[in-house]
Amino acid sequence: MLLDVSQSQLVLVDYQARLMPAIADGAQVLANGLRLAQAARAMQVPAWGTEQNPSKLGENDATLRALCKQTLAKMQFSAVQEGLGEWLRPEPPPVQGNARSLPKHLQKAVPQKPQREMIVIAGCEAHVCLLQTALELLEDEFDVWVVTDACGSRTERNRDAAFDRLASAGAELVTTEMVIFEWLRTAEHPQFKAVQDLIK
């Protein structure tokens, strides 16, 4: 199954100022997170950020933060425990008016926005906050795509163990370029040139 840009959302986990210097290959992990966020902006994919205990670990990288619709400050390691799921799958608006005021056949149906069930997720630390968030998104029946080259931990062993566990749980493991080119699908996409420049 390929990623569908119209069904995708991007979650960027804890690319924080005081955390990134401790992450193995942290500069490359952040660079790939930024590429994902820029591609998402170009192709109108909603992007969301999370920050673990920002008073201690600082905010996310400022450029990345600016590309997110909202950023969730959290103390729980799983952002789902702090309400991320409600952002990704908001409640439908309440039906307006009194249901008894019109016969059923005259009542207007409330149009529902199509749900974006494909969650592309990347960030730090892969074996803690990203892992716990992704596992709970899977439990909530989202399709989860983990961008391996935009994820990091303080050690490669922890990062790789997280990928093994996530794959066993049903997450798809992908790379930044896989995501971008699946969102594009064709060299004729109107954003092809702009997005291609992100990975040159």
Give the tens place of pLDDT for each residue, 84-140. 999 999 876 666 655 556 666 666 655 555 589 999 999 999 999 999 999 999 999
Separation of alpha carbons 195 and 189, rounded Å: 10
For the segment 146-174, what is each residue's pLDDT rounded down to a tens digit? Answer: 999 999 999 999 999 999 999 999 999 99
pLDDT for residue 94: 63
Rg (CA), the chain: 18
pLDDT for residue 196: 85
* Candidate CATH numbers 3.40.50.300, 3.30.470.10, 3.40.50.850, 3.40.47.10; the one for domain 5-87+113-199: 3.40.50.850
| 8 A C-beta contact, residue 143 and residue 175 | no
Provide the residue ranges of all domains of the chain, joining segments of one domain with +. 5-87+113-199
pTM of the prediction? 0.89
pLDDT for residue 198: 87
Is pLDDT of 23 > 70?
yes
Locate tokens 């990288």: which residue?
A: 61
Question: Burial level of 152, CB count in 10 A (0-12/13-18/19+)?
Answer: buried
> Which residues fall within 8 angstroms of residue 1, CB to CB, at 6 or more apart?
172
3-state secondary structure of 160: helix
Give the pLDDT mean for 30-54: 97
- Give the C-alpha distances (Å, rounded to integers) separating 14 from 75, 95, 110, 123: 11, 37, 36, 6
> Which residues fall within 8 angstroms of residue 142, CB to CB, at 6 or more apart?
88, 89, 117, 118, 119
- Give the C-alpha distances (Å, rounded to integers) separating 160 from 11, 118, 125, 151: 20, 23, 11, 10
